[in-house]
Amino acid sequence: MRKIVAFLAGLVFGLGLLISDMANPARVLAFLDVAAIAEGTWDPTLAFVMGGAMAVSALAWLIAYRRSAPVFGGSLPGAPRQSVDARLLGGSALFGAGWGLAGICPGPALTAAGLGGAPMLLFIGAMLVGMVIYNRVDRMLTAAPA
């Protein structure tokens, strides 16, 4: 049952990215281009998408906090960690640089994998290589004596 839930959750998440047009990199870049505000051509759509997504997700958290376990077994996530450290901020900065460069982040990339042709597949390939590199670097850092 958990596996069916995982598949359906991905499907609904992807449909949301398609309906909101966030699977389209040009649309994401049009939001990030804040200099367009002065020109009157700025596209605020991403803010509505994020607002809608966070509102529904917040509701799910409120329900989750009242439950002791997920509906189909396992355990709910614990309280979030508190430490804002260099890895968090450095990683987010690198991620933001890549996101601004192409207008693509992981969810839209996977959702549009079959629609975006060779350029999207190139991005996805590079993204997976980036994750492989992280896996190796992380292992080296963890193995090194502190």
Is 101 or 146 the residue whose CB approaches another protein more closely?
101
Of 59-78, binders to another protein (CB under 8 A) are 59-61, 63-64, 67, 69-72, 74-77
3 state SS for the chain:
CHHHHHHHHHHHHHHHHHHCCCCCHHHHHHHHCCCHHHHCCCCCHHHHHHHHHHHHHHHHHHHHHCCCCCCCCCCCCCCCCCCCCHHHHHHHHHHHHHHHHHCCCHHHHHHCCCCCHHHHHHHHHHHHHHHHHHHHHHHHHHHCCC
Is 53 or 144 the residue whose CB approaches another protein more closely?
53
Is 135 or 145 the residue whose CB approaches another protein more closely?
135
Residue 41 interacts with another protein (CB under 8 A)?
A: no
Residue 64 and residue 76 in contact, taking contact as beta carbons nearer than 8 Å: yes
Residue 37 interacts with another protein (CB under 8 A)?
A: no
Is 81 or 145 the residue whose CB approaches another protein more closely?
81
Of 79-138, binders to another protein (CB under 8 A) are 80-84, 87-107, 109-117, 119-120, 122-135, 138
Instruction: Output the smallest distance, CB 70 to another protein, in A.
Output: 4
Kindly write out the interface string for residues 7-36 of this chain, putting x where it contacts another protein by CB under 8 A and - elsewhere: xxxxxxxxxxxxxxxxxxxx--x--xxxx-
Is 58 or 144 the residue whose CB approaches another protein more closely?
58
- Per the structure block, which two tokens stand in for 45? 């759509």
